[in-house]
A and B are shown apart, each in its own frame.
Chain A
Amino acid sequence: MSARKRGAWFFAAFAVVALVLAGVVSYFADGDPDGLDHVTTRGCTEVAGQLQGACPAAHAEDHALADSPLADYAVGGDDGLTGLAGVLGVLATLVVSGGLFWLLRTRSRSGRDGSPGP
């Protein structure tokens, strides 16, 4: 297999793994609060959905974009569509970062295999 073809296969496989993790495996993620969430809510009790007490999280504000369509990794508030939200997130991240890194890259004068570059 040529180096170029091998590279294409590798990149495609990497992308598929990311899409499957976000689109399928995400349904099996632990729903408990993460470490930061857990520690910042220590010392508070939840009363009717509001944290009460001296803990840091009692000062937490709702997210300014909490009503956006993909908020909380759901689609339009539907948690059953977390996988779709994840796939959209992977694609959005890929487009933004891929575009950024492609613009930032040092353009090679000649191809790595010795052939003249563009």
Chain B
Amino acid sequence: MSTLAMHASDGLLNAPTSLLFGAVAVAGLAVATGKARRELDDRTAPLAGLVAAFVFAVQMLNFPVLPGVSGHLLGGALAAILVGPWTGALCVSVVLVVQALLFADGGLTALGANITNMALLGTAAGYVVAVALRRFATRSRPGLLAVAFTAALVNTVVASAGFVLEYAIGGQGAVSLGGFAAALLGVHVLIGIGEGVITALTVGAVASARPDLVHLLRGAPVAREAAS
């Protein structure tokens, strides 16, 4: 097994479960594609392409979380805050498809599960948190960083919970589900802290240069001033 594999391989989930989450992913992406049209225009489409490329790059940068264990960015909250939740889900999906097809990372039959967890569930959870805390994000720069951090942390943990759910439905191997869930969620809290730091730094940098391009800040005074 290569340590450079970053996403779920084929064989961890049985065939019916893989198929089920393949269907969930296709349905989710169909909805996201329709809704993303409203988020994308001549200004935001190039940014969204760059955000996907950036997520691909940062996903390569595994950071240590425990002795012998690393973590990497998933990127759903980062993308959703910058370009909107539907486009953000598509950004992470494109990354996962490129990784599975070009880099043999993330199994082909596991692609539906990987998209469901990282592109759909994680992105949605991160964005819901970001919107719920939006008033802090628009008020001050530290507020924006704190909101980005929190949204990203929740995004990581929820994405890992998605895999626990899939494993509960049709996982292979004879391990106790409780122990598996506790271990996976626990390590993803630590990874989520790293995801939160990276997301806060990135969103902060974009907000410093072009606050008008940050989806979460749309309509806020700081974004309107920059756009005028």
Contacts and interface: CB of A to CB of B under 8 A. Distances in A.
A14 B213 CA distance: 13
A35 B160 contact: yes
Nearest to A107: B42
Contact of A54 (B2, B55, B173, B209): B173
Contacts of A65: 100-101, 104, 108
A32 B53 contact: no
B69 A32 contact: yes
A35 B191 contact: yes
Given A56-B175, A59-B12, A30 B63 contact: yes
A100 B8 contact: no
Given A22-B60, A106-B37, A72 B104 contact: yes
A54 B174 CA distance: 5
Interface string A51-85: 10011111111011110101111100000001001
Interface residues on B, range: 35 or more
B105 A73 contact: yes
Contacts of B128: none
A36 B172 contact: no
B69 A97 contact: no
Contacts of A88: 102
A71 B175 contact: no
A112 to B, nearest CB: 7
A58 B173 contact: yes
B15 to A, nearest CB: 11
Contacts of A104: 33, 36-37, 40, 45
Main secondary structure of the interface of A (DSSP, over half): helix
Interface in B79-102: 87, 90-91, 94-95, 97-102
Interface stretch (B19-27, B130-138, B181-189): B181-189
A12 B98 CA distance: 22
A116 interface: no
B1 A42 contact: no
Contacts of A71: 103-104
A72 B37 contact: no
Contact of B60 (A29, A57, A70): A29
B50 interface: yes
B47 interface: yes
Given A37-B1, A70-B103, A106 B47 contact: no
A85 B42 CA distance: 30
A7 B12 contact: no
Interface in A1-52: 6-7, 10-11, 13-15, 17-19, 21-22, 25-26, 28-43, 51
Contacts of B2: 72
Interface of B: 1-12, 33, 36-38, 40-50, 52-58, 60-66, 68-72, 87, 90-91, 94-95, 97-105, 107-108, 160, 163, 167, 171-175, 180, 183-184, 187-188, 190-191, 206, 209-210, 213, 227
Given A60-B10, A106-B41, 14 more contacts: A22-B60, A33-B68, A34-B72, A35-B187, A39-B180, A61-B9, A63-B105, A65-B108, A73-B4, A93-B98, A96-B52, A97-B91, A101-B45, A105-B45
